[in-house]
Amino acid sequence: MDSNYVPLKTSGNESTAPYLYPQALVKQLKLNKEPKYKKNDFIMVIDNGKSNPQSESKELRRLIIHEIFHGLGFMSLASVKKLTDNDVYNIYNPGEPLQFNETDRYAILPYTVPSFSQKLLDITDGEEYLDQLINTEISKFMPFSVFDKNIVSLKSGEKLFDDLEFYYKEASQKCLPKNGSPLLLKESTDKKISDCFESISSETQEIITRNIRDHYFEPQTLGILTDDGETVPLQTMGYLYVPGSSVSHIANPLYDLIFTKLIQYGPEAVKNYYDETTEKLRKEYVLEYYDDNYILYFSDEDDLTFDEMLQLLPNNEYHPLIGEGIIKIMKTLGWTEKGEQKSNETYYLDESLDIPESNNFEYMFKRRYEI
């Protein structure tokens, strides 16, 4: 939750596009100017399973390592939205999965940064808290992440967002109020998103629509192009887009196989992949299909313990647990592998894109469950 990003460019030229880098990574880079760092690099909220007795035995080590990678930058900020005329903001379910429909229209909107009020920390009444929350200001759109910068089409090899580097500027010009007053969270309804998308240039609309149609609702369509020229596939799904899961994980070959069979032939066709007692994936299928990047698969329906995974599944010789593809992706984002010399490249802070401290969430998530 609340990964803090810093906008950086690879040169000081105005024509160079900025991308959002996770704060934890920024602290490792050579900068022309130090930003004002946030209190937290990133925050994880972990369910210990005690509210559900069936989940108490679930191991957290694998889960924690997985989430740390998201905090270190393994995350797409390009989120697909369904365009509708719904004029009500749903504060409880903003990340609902999208089921693909030929008659529906979809868009990608740039990342927005809410400026949570300090007043939120002092509110004890639930209704007042929600009222303040939905009146939070969204004053700007943001660039895509350095992770998005390296996403390519597995079909064509082309980078997906090369023509959308300054899309955030166009969205800010066309979609935000002209008098300088901010957009409120409660106003960012489906209709508002639809109206915004309709207002941008037809060229940009065409690029975005084509990207969504060709990549976001089909399996095995996207990957990360790493610095050594290898492309590591990312998880996309047939007819389904899940915010925060699609594209932000390594492709799971077993999941793709099962999901495709489920869509084509129904539940009976995939029953043999699961153990009838535990309802988890059978160990023999996990061992056959998982590769060494399994720590960043989006789904862990298998029944292997953490230690079994280390013992039975393929691992990078130099990095037990962490796959070679994951290492390559993290190095491409800007991380330095242990034992290697740091890059001498200078990154430039884009001071035109201030990202305010959102919240430390110590209060927000305690209060959310009470509400």
Task: Say which residue the tokens 């990312």 belong to.
Answer: 234
Same domain, 116 and 172: yes
Supply 225's token pair. 């192009």
Residue 312 lies in a domain: no
The Cα 231–Cα 255 span in angstroms is: 19
Residue 250 lies in a domain: no
Among the residue ranges 80-84, 110-114, 360-364, the one predicted with the least confidence is: 360-364
What pLDDT score does 346 carry? 97
Residue 333 lies in a domain: no
What average pLDDT is seen over the chain? 86
Same domain, 90 and 209: yes
Residue type at 325 in one-letter notation:
G
Same domain, 92 and 208: yes
Among the residue ranges 123-132, 297-306, 352-361, the one predicted with the least confidence is: 352-361
Mean pLDDT (whole number) for 126-147? 84
What pLDDT score does 55 carry? 54
Same domain, 98 and 182: yes
Instruction: Tell me the Cα Rg of the chain.
Output: 21
Q: Residue 180: CA atoms inside 13 Å, Cβ hemisphere, count?
A: 0
What pLDDT score does 269 carry? 95
Q: Is the pLDDT of residue 61 over 70?
A: yes
Q: Is the pLDDT of residue 360 over 60?
A: no
For residues 140 and 112, the answer to whether their CB atoms sit within 8 Å is: yes
Give the DSSP per-residue string, 12-53: S-TTSPPEEEEHHHHTTSEESS-----S-S-------STTSG
Residue 56 lies in a domain: yes
Give the pLDDT band (50/70/90) at residue 368. very low
The Cα 251–Cα 231 span in angstroms is: 12
- Most confident of the ranges 52-66, 109-123, 142-156: 142-156
Mean pLDDT (whole number) for 19-39? 95
What pLDDT score does 110 carry? 84
What pLDDT score does 179 carry? 65
What pLDDT score does 308 carry? 86
Same domain, 22 and 39: yes
Last residue of a domain, one of 218, 247, 265: 218
Same domain, 88 and 107: yes
Domain range for 63: 1-72+347-358
Q: Is the pLDDT of residue 57 over 60?
A: no
Residue 169 lies in a domain: yes
Each residue's pLDDT tens digit, 259-269: 889 988 999 99
Same domain, 92 and 206: yes
Same domain, 32 and 135: no
Supply 49's token pair. 């399973």
Query: Could you give the percent of the chain with pLDDT greater than 90?
Result: 53
- Counting every residue written for the chain, the total comes to 371
Each residue's pLDDT tens digit, 161-174: 999 999 999 998 88
Among positive and negative, which fits the CA dihedral 275, 281, 285, 287?
negative
Last residue of a domain, one of 177, 197, 218: 218
Where on the phi/psi map is residue 279: left (φ > 0), alpha (ψ -120 to 50), or beta? left
Mean pLDDT (whole number) for 73-87? 90
Last residue of a domain, one of 153, 184, 218: 218
The Cα 233–Cα 215 span in angstroms is: 12
- Tally the domains of the chain: 2
Supply 351's token pair. 């001071």
Supply 184's token pair. 């409120």
Residue 297 lies in a domain: no
For residues 153 and 213, the answer to whether their CB atoms sit within 8 Å is: no
Same domain, 138 and 181: yes
Give the pLDDT band (50/70/90) at residue 371. very low
Same domain, 85 and 180: yes
Mean pLDDT (whole number) for 254-261? 91
Same domain, 144 and 206: yes
What pLDDT score does 15 carry? 94
Residue 287 lies in a domain: no
Same domain, 82 and 68: no
What pLDDT score does 136 carry? 82
